[in-house]
Chains A and B, each alone.
Chain A
Amino acid sequence: MHEFNFNIEEAPTLWKRWKLNAERNPDRDAVVHWVAGQEPFRWTYKNLIDTAKKFSIKIRELGIKPGEVCATIIRHNPKFYPLYLGISRAAALPAVLAYPNPRLHPDKFRQGLEGMAQRSGLDYILTERELEPIIKPLIEKPGSTIKAVYFPLEWDLDGDLDLKVDNEVEEVASQIKDTDPMLLQHSSGTTGLQKPVVLSHRAIMNQVKNLGGALELTEKDKIVSWLPLYHDFGLIAAYQIPLAYGITTIQIDPFEWVLAPVLLPEVISKEKATTTFSPNFAYNVLAEKIDEEELEGLDLSSLRIMVNAAEPIRHDSHEKFINRFKKYGLNPTALAGLYGMAEVTLGATLTTPGEPIPELSVDRNELSHGFMKLADENSVVRVCVSSGHPINGCDLKIVDENRNEIEDGIVGEVAVTSVSMFDGYRNYPEKTAEVVANGWYYSGDYGFRWKGEYYIIGRKKDIIIVAGKNIYPEDIEDVMNGVEGLIPGRTIAFGEEDTNMGTEFVAVVSETNAQTDEEKNKVRMNILKAGMSIDIIIHKVYLVPPRWLIKSSSGKPSRKANKERLTSGTDPQVWSR
């Protein structure tokens, strides 16, 4: 039995924990900041803490108070890590936001940030100078909730510590209670519907203990990740957990990784990393989009566990990955599956490390009717991949539409309770009340339990997950309202299976009066451009005549019914490209 050595009580808040790790292992690498083709920048625990102190003093001098939220919008930069720790030392709440893609229209970015600031209560924006012209007008606007924008990468940290202020900040840090909020993160969504999740020190510490224990982490482990830190998977699994536990995390730039996926196997090989995390699509990309020559000489035998989460786990993706990398020393049982969500900090279930992931070949037709029946010779087979069993401190159940628990093998909604439960959506009690009842979080995901393992097979909500990123169809449908050539309010967006990339792609169906091929192509281009303006790539457009879309009982076009009609039928009225 694996013994996970992590005593929460000896340092129950994050700053105390980081400091303790720096005292115990001052020269150990805390964060290795990886940039392709360069020598990596290495933060030892001591250096990281010393620099974090300097950042915290600046934060204090600027008048940022305990409990205020500092949103960071910063690209891959070595100064980010001590800044994050420094915010926490000053008892403010860091909230990592995505740096805007150039595709996103500045007005849309500003609107999204403004909406987020009002709902989530962002107090300060800490960003790069380049974004100043976009963000400044927000602060100057009457009624803005954002108090100021700062550029911490430009702060001069070279001088000696002002010991008086340093003592003051240390005193503030020592007053933080484990029940106090530690961070704010946004659970999902694109421009308008992000839900702000507040996590306490206690929730995070419990997650470190329970997920760290389930991962069977030891002091010898080294984590490597290309995941963005605005995503809970990256922030908790590959940043909070290693830094709280006191081991090394190697951070690859997500933008670089997606252009050069070889970076991940290369870093695993060079740094002898043991642990990594990726959503399902990455297994396809790694298996199929890297040239053999570039992998020559790489050795993945150090990899002890590679966790798949954040989108449905696909059997084919794992198979391709193993087939490609076993000759480079990959141990096939290193692959693992996790299920979780920001609302329980991250992990709820995990498969057993070092053992093959349980899989079930089931009858696809029966499954679509809500029953898990093992496949027989007459079945069309769907292979379901387990996301594991509950980690310590977590419990799960499958419930029906009345939230009553149902038996094994029947598909229902997944509900989770956890010692790492969030404190509710910030400033959003009505949303919290919708999803939390009697200490259980109702996830909106569909799945079933079988022999103690949980299999996630779909979603009650219509969220589209592209490469691990959650996209609300409402965001896309809203932006289509003003598009020339479309009938307003008569567009729906949904996800379609992308078997090539091991994820989903976004499809849109719109009613239009366009008749000729030329007119329809023009309408399609308008739809693609409207998607681009909110940084969403639409891969398939269906155009249908007026009154074609099936309505739901609410009178709005039904996503589910229309998707089924489009993807299964061959209606000659449907134009698609």
Chain B
Amino acid sequence: MISQELKEVILKQLNLDDFDLKDETIAPEVPGWDSLNHINIILAVEEKFKVKFKSYELLRLKCVGDLQKMLDSKLNK
């Protein structure tokens, strides 16, 4: 389940009011989420939650749910 906070960061970066982000949602399904924006989304998530992701960790992300899990693990949730 995608947290409201993560959803807000992503939607703000994509300049969207709302979008139904589910665990299985992949970037190409979301308006504006291309590879260049992806870099900015990750930086925005790092900034908001004060975490750092390693590049190789990011390569393993397949869907938004993976990003949530990786964020949770960094936050020790």
Question: Which A residues are closer than 8 A to B by beta carbons?
Answer: 36-37, 101-103, 255-256, 258-263, 281, 285, 289-291, 293-294, 467, 501, 503, 521, 525, 528-529, 532, 537-539, 577
Contacts and interface: CB of A to CB of B under 8 A. Distances in A.
A467 B38 CA distance: 14
A269 to B, nearest CB: 14
The 8 closest A-B pairs by CB, nearest first: A260-B55, A103-B28, A528-B31, A258-B35, A537-B34, A102-B28, A262-B55, A289-B39
B2 interface: no
Nearest to B57: A260
B59 A294 contact: no
Contact of B28 (A101, A258, A285): A101
13 contacts: A36-B56, A103-B29, A259-B58, A259-B59, A260-B58, A261-B55, A285-B36, A289-B43, A294-B54, A528-B32, A532-B28, A532-B31, A537-B37
Interface string B1-41: 00000000000000101000000001011011111111100
A56 B69 CA distance: 46
Nearest to B58: A259
Nearest to A536: B34
Nearest to B34: A537
Nearest to A255: B35
B52 interface: yes
B28 to A, nearest CB: 4
Nearest to B19: A525
Contacts of B59: 36-37, 256, 259-260
Contacts of A291: 52, 55
Contacts of B58: 259-260
Contacts of B37: 537
Interface residues of B, number: 21
Interface of B: 15, 17, 26, 28-29, 31-39, 43, 52, 54-56, 58-59
A103 B37 CA distance: 14
B26 to A, nearest CB: 7
A301 B46 CA distance: 30
A321 B38 CA distance: 21
A291 B52 CA distance: 8
B31 A525 contact: yes
Contacts of A255: 35
A37 B54 CA distance: 12
Given A102-B26, A289-B39, A539 B56 contact: no
A260 B15 CA distance: 24
Contact of B36 (A281, A290, A528, A577): A281
Nearest to A540: B15
B41 to A, nearest CB: 11
Contacts of B43: 289
A539 B54 contact: no
Given A256-B59, A539-B32, 10 more contacts: A259-B35, A261-B39, A262-B55, A285-B39, A290-B55, A291-B55, A294-B54, A525-B31, A532-B31, A537-B31
Contacts of A525: 31
Contacts of A528: 31-32
The listed residue with most B CB atoms (<10 A of its CB), out of A259, A291, A528, is A259
A501 B31 contact: no
A520 to B, nearest CB: 12
Nearest to A103: B28
B31 A293 contact: no
B13 to A, nearest CB: 12
